């Protein structure tokens, strides 16, 4: 294997990875042409995703092999429960999403598939497995948001969803997460590395399905 473990995982997950990072859903966010109906269905489903994602961060915190790693993960948990959560609440108010649809919507197939993968990692994933799924979710979002134009759309629904994933603190968290998976990945045997690759490919496919579910 030449290059880093995460770069190997990513390159072996093409063409899906690039399809996520350059998805037309993100282009519509950038130019402000995203219809409210699509943003609404996406955010309602994504709120269900973020809930399970927070549980997965908890699993990473529990399974980390060193105190500095636990501290870094704890810091990211604060972000999901503060900035990100207020965005969802303000967006739901703006889009007039009723309380029941915020908390218990009918879940789309793409949402269920992702939640099942995260729940599975939560109960039986190793630290490397959990990191792999986290890396896909965070790195792919950091990558599409890095493509944003300098002039952001006027509507906060669009601009804040971009800046949540395109700021110095988030970039640093994603950098740490990839470096952490590189560190842990180097200690794995071939069978465990292959398992991480299967998980990376599956999670990348689920990211693509998730955007497609609210686009095509």
Ligand X SMILES: Cc1ncc(C[n+]2csc(CCO)c2C)c(N)n1
Q: Which residues bind ligand X (CB under 6 A)?
A: 46, 49-50, 53, 76, 79-80, 84, 137-138, 141, 165, 207, 210
**Residue with smaller CB distance to ligand X, 5 or 114:** 114
Q: Which of 14, 112, 192, 207 is catalytic?
A: 207
Question: In angstroms, what is the minimal distance from the CB of 141 to ligand X?
Answer: 4
Question: In angstroms, what is the minimal distance from the CB of 18 to ligand X?
Answer: 16
Question: In angstroms, what is the minimal distance from the CB of 7 to ligand X?
Answer: 20
Residue 138 counted as an annotated binding residue = yes
Active-site residue 116, yes or no?
A: no
**Residue with smaller CB distance to ligand X, 3 or 147:** 147
- How many Å apart are CA 204 and CA 13, to the nearest integer? 7
- Annotated binding-site residues for substrate read 46, 84, 138
Binding site per annotation, positions: 46, 84, 138
**Catalytically active residues, by annotation:** 207
């Amino acid at each position: 294997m030449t290059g880093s473990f995460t770069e190997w995982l990513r390159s072996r997950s093409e063409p899906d990875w690039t399809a996520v990072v350059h998805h037309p859903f993100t282009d519509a966010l950038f130019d402000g042409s995203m219809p409210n109906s699509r943003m609404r269905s996406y955010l309602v489903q994504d709120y269900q995703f973020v809930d399970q994602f927070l549980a997965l961060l908890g699993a990473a915190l529990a399974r980390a092999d060193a105190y500095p790693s636990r501290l870094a993960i704890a810091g990211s948990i604060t972000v999901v429960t503060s900035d990100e959560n207020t965005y969802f609440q303000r967006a739901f108010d703006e889009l007039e999403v009723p309380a029941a649809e915020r908390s218990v919507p009918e879940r789309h197939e793409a949402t269920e598939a992702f939640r099942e993968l995260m729940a599975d990692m939560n109960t039986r994933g190793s630290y490397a497995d959990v990191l792999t799924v986290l890396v896909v979710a965070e790195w792919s979002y950091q990558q599409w948001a890095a493509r944003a134009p300098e002039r952001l759309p006027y509507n906060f629904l669009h601009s804040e969803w971009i800046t949540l994933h395109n700021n110095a603190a988030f970039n640093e968290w994603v950098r740490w997460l990839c470096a952490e998976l590189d560190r842990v990945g180097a200690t794995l045997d071939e069978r465990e590395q292959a398992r991480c690759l299967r998980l990376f490919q599956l999670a990348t496919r689920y990211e693509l399905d998730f955007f497609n579910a609210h686009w095509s």
